[in-house]
Amino acid sequence: MKTLMLGNEAVARGLYEAGCSFVSSYPGTPSTEITEAVAKYPEVYAEWAPNEKVALESAFGASLAGSRAFCGMKHVGLNVAADPLFTMSYTGVNAGLIIGVADDAGMHSSQNEQDSRHYAKAAKIPMLEPSDSAEALELTKLAYELSERFDTPVLLKMCTRVAHSQSLVQPGPRTEARKSYEKNAAKYIMMPGNAKRRHPVVEQRTADLIAWAEDVSINRLEDGPDHSMGIITSSTSYQYVKEVCGDLYPVLKLGMVWPLPEKKIRDLAASVDRLVVVEELDGFIEEHCRNLGLSVTGKEKFSCIDELSQNKVAAGLGKPVPEGVKFSEPIPARPPVMCAGCPHRGLFYTLAKNKVTALGDIGCYTLGAVPPLGALDSTLCMGASVSGLHGFTKAGGGKAVAVIGDSTFIHSGITGLVNMAYNESNATVIIVDNSITGMTGHQQNPTTGFNLKGDPCTKIDLETLCRAVGIRRVRVVDPYDLAQCDQALKEEMAADEPSVIISRRPCALLKYVKHKKPVVIDKEKCVGCKMCMRVGCPAISMSAGKAAIDNTLCTGCGVCGQLCHQGAIRPAKED
Amino acid sequence: METKNIMIVGVGGQGSLLASRLLGRLLLTRGYDVKVSEVHGMSQRGGSVVTYVRFGDKVYSPIVDKGEADFIVSFERLEAARYTEDLKKGGKIVTSTQRINPMPVIMGAAQYPDGLIEKMRAAGIDVDAIDALSLAEQAGSAKAVNIVLMGRLSRWFDFSEQEWLTAIEQTVPAKFLELNKTAFNLGREA
């Protein structure tokens, strides 16, 4: 029976059906649910790795051992995993290996808008790209066939609108797939002598894949009666094109976006008056057409900035665009904020109050940058807070701190801390340990004591880890206790050696975290000074000149009460 | 059948994801082609969130664009007003009257507009407004606002009460089923 599945769940289903038995990933929006969903199949071993490089190398090892393997990540994760990626293009695989990478056009939850297709071209690895959930399942299974037939890892590219949209899928049965391992030094040991012999193999493979791309059904021409225009498209852009044009024009729908066919594109170009490429982000297919010497309309009509939509595609094709209802009232923005009861809030208030330069990192706590806290100075990529802090202080930037989450610290903050100890930084790293990978929706990590399947496992002791790399000053604070945070920050920043403060309290959204009753405002005592508003909690606002608590949001954390000089905010009596 | 478009809008954390999944389940039972587009990640953290539900004989795009929405179901009145441009001419807004101040309003950097629902109606927009929060609390939990609003939306859909209740059973955890059924009926009959 057909069922609704997220694109990510459909990839997971495809992995299951194709006999995949090893998955190692690092969470990242919009890719996370692939690995969460596949972990529910008992036949598949699935894990969260500390970072994408470790995950991909683990998946490579599993492929070598003879298991069909998968590694999932978001677009920026592929930057982290790029090192093994480029060389496993040379080694090829034993059992099939798929790398799932999810781009985030529109930056719903990302720090940049990079287009992963460039990696496929640069690493000379084929890339498949589904346009809905049914194709996500189908192309995942096909990717394993390709991987084993052409002896190559295969990139499976998702985007936010395919990954996070549900559409109809017909699930099928699982077929087991297992190979045996045989030593093959010339293929798997990439030292110069061997790699020199492998590079021509890679080039021949790409030529073979181009030939395959010419007559495979996933690169399909959907003909139309009106040949004044022919459109080349893929992924969610294909859906927008069909939404706008229906079956009017010939459409070349590409299921494999690297390597690209040549004859198929030339044939389409020859049969139409005008060739148009509709693709999200960069002009990747467009550039290929130009390299073939074809005249093509592309990015000048369909911007490389932000995601596309049916209206944007309609406008680019010169079609009418529907008009919306006009309503002229100015509507204030509603940016994301740290949740009521978020343990990060007290720590960021302390940083803001002390006017500390703080280099930030990737996670929920990036929201410490927004008003009224405004407590961060930079955010670049995973781990950059710690290594950036080292450079900042060494180069005379003055006293500063890094703020990094527990999962991000393990991902790539620890190597920066090693550098700080080894090269004798004089600065403070604050690990905001909320005992979970928060932003991506509560994934376990090596500091939580639980694995992806929810079973208890080895738990990294952050204090011991920091001491082991050579940091002598390591202390733990409760971010709900502002006085304690303030004292720790002042003392550690005054110390003449590198230090670590672990700001520890579990995420307020975790199911096991019990909330207190909402705090109570004593309207008699409240003088309307707005001191409590400085923590930027969405549960506090001013009403008729007095502080007011939104009881549906307040978790009774009491951080606001510590700022009230009038004693007007008190905890509710617990039952 | 021409594709119908529903937008579910609200503040991150209000339960719009569950509402969209409930609609998906319901529409599937009638054999429609259905697409549901969700929001995950950072924008879920107290920001303005949108999910799209589209159904018909054949649905291509997973998103609803400006001027396309037949229905906007809103969990908060400012959010209803924010997305009016997405409403199709003749489309309908079903909204909770609840007010949740966004951070710029809390900070005093922006004003929460007065009389939003009246102003939308004055602009010719068809607005069906109910106090979904009070009804949800009456049903037993403030978190049931999403199901109260689905109950309200059900008045404009050609599905039997039983079909809706079956979809609810397939979507919510068993221990909250009775609460949600009550919430649905309160919204439907309010």
What is the C-alpha to C-alpha distance for residues B189 and B16, in angstroms, rounded to an integer? 21
Query: pLDDT of A110-133, one tens digit each?
Result: 999 999 999 999 999 999 999 999
Burial of residue B158 (CB within 10 Å: 0-12, 13-18, 19+) is exposed
Residues A142 and A26 in one domain: yes
Q: How many H helices and E strands in chain B?
A: 8, 6
Phi, psi of B28 (to 5 degrees): -60, -35
Question: A575: pLDDT confidence band, cut at 50, 70 and 90?
Answer: low
Residues A171 and A136 in one domain: yes
Contact A108 B61 (CB under 8 A): no
Residues A56 and A191 in one domain: yes
**DSSP code, position A574:** P
Total number of domains constituting chain B: 1
What is the C-alpha to C-alpha distance for residues A384 and A404, in angstroms, rounded to an integer? 9
Residue A510 lies in a domain: no
> A3 to chain B: nearest residue by CA?
B28
Residue A171: cis peptide before it, omega within 30 degrees of 0: no
The residue among A166, A364, A537 with the most chain B CBs within 10 A of its CB, best to mutate, is A166
Residues A246 and A371 in one domain: no
CB A569 within 8 A of CB A535: no
Helices (H), A306-461: 310-316, 344-353, 384-394, 406-408, 414-422
Residues A207 and A228 in one domain: no
Instruction: Please check whether residue A355 touches B, CB under 8 A.
Output: no
Query: pLDDT of A242-280, one tens digit each?
Result: 999 999 999 999 999 999 999 999 999 999 999 999 999
Here the CATH number for the domain that contains residue B14 is 3.40.920.10
CB under 8 Å to A68, separation ≥6 — which residues?
A15, A18, A19, A20, A21, A22, A95, A96, A97, A144, A177
A-chain residues within 8 Å CB-CB of B12?
336
- Window from A147-156, A333-342, B35-44 with minimum mean pLDDT: B35-44
Looking at residue B7, its pLDDT comes to 97
> B34 to chain A: nearest residue by CA?
A167
- Strand ranges inside A235-272, DSSP E: 251-254, 256-258
The residue among A29, A168, A239, A325 with the most chain B CBs within 10 A of its CB, best to mutate, is A325
Mean pLDDT of B152-166: 95
> B133 to chain A: nearest residue by CA?
A552
Query: pLDDT of A422-463, one tens digit each?
Result: 999 999 999 999 999 998 989 999 999 999 999 999 999 999
Residue B84 lies in a domain: yes
CA distance A131 to chain B (A): 10
Contact A332 B47 (CB under 8 A): no
> B115 to chain A: nearest residue by CA?
A329
Asked if residue A574 has pLDDT above 80, the reply is no
Q: Letter for the amino acid at A288?
A: H
**CB-CB: which of B62, B82, B111 is closest to A161?**
B62
What is the C-alpha to C-alpha distance for residues B12 and A196, in angstroms, rounded to an integer? 53
Residues A423 and A554 in one domain: no
Here the CATH number for the domain that contains residue A554 is 3.30.70.20
What's the CA dihedral at A502, A508, A509, A515 to 10 degrees? 150
Query: pLDDT of A490-522, one tens digit each?
Result: 999 999 999 999 999 999 999 999 999 999 999
Looking at residue A183, its pLDDT comes to 98
Looking at residue A354, its pLDDT comes to 97
Is-above-0.80 flag for pTM? yes
Residues A353 and A448 in one domain: yes
Looking at residue A573, its pLDDT comes to 84
**CB-CB: which of A168, A243, A366 is closest to B60?**
A243
Structural domain that includes position B48: 4-99+114-131+150-164
Looking at residue B44, its pLDDT comes to 63
CA distance B121 to chain A (A): 10
- Strand ranges inside A348-462, DSSP E: 357-359, 400-405, 428-433
Residues A355 and A310 in one domain: no
Residue A207 lies in a domain: yes
Residues A76 and A199 in one domain: yes
Total number of domains constituting chain A: 4
Determine the 3-state secondary structure of B184 from DSSP. helix
* Final residue before a domain boundary, out of A185, A215, A245: A215
Closest of A514, A559, A551 to residue A533, by C-alpha? A559
What's the CA dihedral at A234, A239, A243, A249 to 10 degrees? 20
Query: pLDDT of A468-497, one tens digit each?
Result: 999 999 999 999 999 999 999 999 999 999
Residues A58 and A155 in one domain: yes
Question: B42: pLDDT confidence band, cut at 50, 70 and 90?
Answer: low
Structural domain that includes position A291: 220-316
What separation in angstroms does the CA of A72 have from each of A28, A35, A56, A75? 9, 7, 8, 10
Asked if residue A148 has pLDDT above 80, the reply is yes
Looking at residue A469, its pLDDT comes to 97
In sequence order, the β-bridge partners of residue B127 are B93
